[in-house]
Amino acid sequence: MKKKFSYLALLAMVLLLGFSGCSNGEDTEPVDNAKPKSVFLKLGKSAVTPHSVSSPVSNGTDVVLQSGDLYFVNASGAILKHYTITSSTTSATNINMTEAHNGASITNLPGNTEMVYVVGNTSGLPTSGNISTVQEVVLQVESQNDIEDANLYGSGPLVDPVSPATAYTCEVDLKPTVARIELTDITSSGVITDFKVDGIFIDNYFSQALVKGSVTSTDFVENGAVAAAFNDETSEYPAGLKPAIYDFYDPALSASTKVAKPAGTGTVWAYNLFASSTGSTVPRIIIRLSDIVTNDGSTYTAPQFVTVKGFKAVSGGASLTSIESGKIYKIAAGALTFNETDLSPIPNLSLIDIEVTVNLVAWTVVGVTPEL
């Protein structure tokens, strides 16, 4: 069962922690960390589709929480209490997602609880020890190919009650740790009248990241100017990375009236990539082409490559210096248009820029154009 939470900007989990002995009509007493705490948990209605060929994600589309892990920790990060959040019946260790959405009571939390952490859509996480062991679990990029299963992460401190309140509060912004690139179609111009698409490859990407959303330079993949690398099931693009990081067509995908697009109505090519919330390196899109036909008799040996080196924002036209988790970088129909000067028998040499539209989580779409 999937539970979707609509919200204006971020998915907020609101935790109201209170003491049964407090009166609504008088100031709360100083906190006694030796006393157990009772918790009222509510997954609030505050305010994306499978991959690699999928329906485009619209601005404000719901983030999907299919399952989760809820951690209560002390000041040093020790996990004091752990719950799963699933569609199963509420028990001593599980909170039913529907009940959590409507409001569920949790009793006898340790009195020294200080922080709340939530991880969504990632299974097999530690349930005891220090929260750092959860945060530092490594995720592979191929595990993020379904946007409805994308890793979600958030944390927040408990806020002391303020008179005349009788409860602690904690808001956790539960956000994706991936960015998403959507490509609507590929269009030829100039003397090129027809072509076929052999494959689409993401280059300059992070192969893995931590559950908490961190990426490191040691996991950054650059496949360079080597044509042989950009083929189906190579050492650089093994079968396990398809379709998360690349798509390949056998036979090649034919253009129609100078436009190549994915199968289906209203679909896009889509790739979910690790990025930090503050911004990570802009990836490249490598398009492998064959059977190029021209109207001036010029010929091109196969394969030929078009390399998208970066993105320009549709709004304002500035080149983007990074991509951010929780944002969708949408390349609209006709935005990726190439001509004969953009072709090269070697990838990562002849470069173009494209415009994109950018939006935020729940999800934000960023309109961009390719830079060739």
Distance CA(178)–CA(157), nearest Å, equals 24
> What local confidence, expressed as pLDDT, does residue 360 receive?
55
Are residues 128 and 185 both part of a single domain? no
Distance CA(160)–CA(180), nearest Å, equals 37
- The DSSP annotation for 231-280 comes to STT-SSS-GGGTTTTEEEEEEEEEPBTTEE--SSSS-EEEEEEE--TT-B
Q: Which of 145, 176, 207 is the last residue of a domain?
A: 176
Are residues 61 and 208 both part of a single domain? no
Q: Is residue 11 part of a domain?
A: no
Q: Which of 176, 199, 222 is the last residue of a domain?
A: 176
Walk along the chain (372 residues) and give the pLDDT tens digit of each residue. Answer: 554 444 333 444 555 544 333 333 334 344 456 666 656 666 543 333 333 555 666 655 667 788 999 999 999 999 999 999 998 988 888 988 887 767 666 777 888 988 989 999 999 999 999 999 999 999 999 999 998 899 999 888 877 766 544 456 677 778 899 999 999 999 999 999 999 999 999 999 999 999 999 999 999 999 999 999 999 999 999 999 999 999 999 999 999 999 999 998 889 999 999 999 999 999 999 999 999 999 999 999 999 999 999 999 888 888 999 999 989 999 999 999 999 999 999 999 877 888 777 755 556 666 666 777
Are residues 324 and 218 both part of a single domain? yes
> What local confidence, expressed as pLDDT, does residue 22 receive?
35
Q: Is residue 29 part of a domain?
A: no
- CATH number, residue 60: 2.60.40.2580
Are residues 124 and 207 both part of a single domain? no
Q: Is residue 12 part of a domain?
A: no
Are residues 183 and 311 both part of a single domain? yes
Residue 87 structural domain: 37-176
Q: Which of 144, 160, 176 is the last residue of a domain?
A: 176
Burial annotation 250-282 (CB, 10 A radius, 16+ → b, else e)? eebbebeeeebbbeeeebbbbbbbbbbbeebbb
Total tally of structural domains belonging to the chain = 2
Are residues 217 and 162 both part of a single domain? no
Are residues 165 and 236 both part of a single domain? no
Q: Is residue 355 part of a domain?
A: yes
Q: Is 38 helix (H, G, I), strand (E, B) or coil?
A: strand
Are residues 145 and 284 both part of a single domain? no
> What local confidence, expressed as pLDDT, does residue 306 receive?
98
Distance CA(68)–CA(94), nearest Å, equals 10
Q: Is residue 55 part of a domain?
A: yes
Q: Is residue 2 part of a domain?
A: no
Are residues 204 and 346 both part of a single domain? yes
Are residues 221 and 315 both part of a single domain? yes
Strand order in the sheet with 337-338: 259-260, 186-188, 337-338
> What local confidence, expressed as pLDDT, does residue 218 receive?
97
Q: Is residue 88 part of a domain?
A: yes
Q: Is 216 helix (H, G, I), strand (E, B) or coil?
A: coil
> What local confidence, expressed as pLDDT, does residue 303 receive?
98
Are residues 170 and 185 both part of a single domain? no
Are residues 225 and 286 both part of a single domain? yes
Q: Is residue 372 part of a domain?
A: no
